[in-house]
């Protein structure tokens, strides 16, 4: 079995340092966590990269929608992808949907601007109509190697079952990251009842507005 991974959302270098100190394996860097995460500024990303050694993926998202409003927004997304590749991040986080289906054309055009980077298809996945069809369509984009999902809004046991089904459908091309309301209890349940190996957390790793090394360490214990 692959080594379990804890990915922690970071908005600042202080967040990143605390996450690494607590034992996190990967960061998702965002701006405006209160809006679900938007594209961070390049200077923050540079500061984080110079402050930690763990893997860093960066959000590419200009608005709270899972669509792109116009050519200007599309241009900003492409420019961000190119710039983050030059800066030296390990991957991107993005996702776009059209008429209930993943917008493969748009997503592909943006990640092609950073051809050396892999990418996570984020919670845009949750608004697609057919999750299993979405997984198969995402396999058309070789750079997409992760899909983030909370497994639905049912009780934790049902969510675990759903995430396991997604994981089985996605492999070997794509790994499913369990994320969205993922806390210590959910991590323990998934470790016992599924083959999910990657876990994404935001609020469960925070005290107030900042990442807590102690809370991250407690989540890491759940991976064992």
Number of domains in the chain: 1
Confidence of residue 69 (pLDDT cuts 50, 70, 90): confident
Q: 39-54: per-residue pLDDT in tens?
A: 999 999 999 999 999 9
The range of the structural domain enclosing residue 127 comes to: 5-222
The two three-digit tokens of residue 109, written as one number? 């055009």
**Vertex 104 angle, CA 99 and 106, to 5°:** 90
- 3-class DSSP state of 90: coil
Q: Could you give the CA distance from residue 183 to residue 96 in angstroms, rounded to a whole number?
A: 26
Write the pLDDT tens digit of every residue in 112-133. Answer: 999 999 999 999 999 999 999 9
Asked whether the beta carbons of 173 and 141 are under 8 A apart, the reply is: no
Per-residue pLDDT tens digits for 150-173: 999 889 999 999 999 999 999 999
Task: Please tell me the pTM assigned to this model.
Answer: 0.95
d(CA 97, CA 178): 20
Determine the average pLDDT of the residues in 95-107: 96
93 - beta bridge partners?
A: 59, 120
- What CATH number did the domain enclosing 170 receive? 3.20.20.380
CA pair distance 8, 68, nearest whole angstrom:
26
């Amino acid at each position: 079995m692959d080594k379990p991974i804890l990915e922690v959302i970071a908005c600042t270098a202080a967040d990143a340092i605390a996450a690494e100190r607590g034992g996190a394996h990967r960061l998702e860097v965002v701006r405006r966590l209160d809006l679900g995460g938007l594209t961070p500024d390049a200077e923050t990303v540079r500061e984080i990269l110079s402050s930690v050694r763990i893997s860093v993926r960066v959000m590419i998202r200009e608005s709270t929608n899972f669509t792109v409003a116009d050519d200007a927004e599309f241009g900003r997304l492409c420019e961000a992808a190119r710039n983050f590749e030059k800066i030296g991040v390990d991957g991107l986080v993005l996702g776009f949907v059209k008429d209930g289906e993943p917008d493969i054309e748009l997503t592909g055009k943006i990640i092609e601007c950073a051809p050396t980077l892999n990418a996570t298809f984020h919670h845009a996945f949750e608004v697609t109509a057919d999750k299993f069809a979405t997984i198969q369509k995402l396999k058309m984009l070789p750079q997409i190697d992760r899909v983030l999902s909370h497994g639905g809004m049912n009780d934790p046991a049902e969510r675990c079952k759903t995430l396991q089904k997604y994981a089985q459908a996605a492999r070997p091309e794509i790994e499913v990251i369990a994320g969205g309301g993922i806390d210590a209890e959910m991590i323990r349940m998934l470790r016992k009842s599924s083959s999910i190996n990657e876990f994404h957390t935001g609020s469960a790793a925070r005290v107030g507005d900042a990442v807590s090394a102690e809370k991250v360490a407690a989540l890491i214990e759940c991976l064992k």
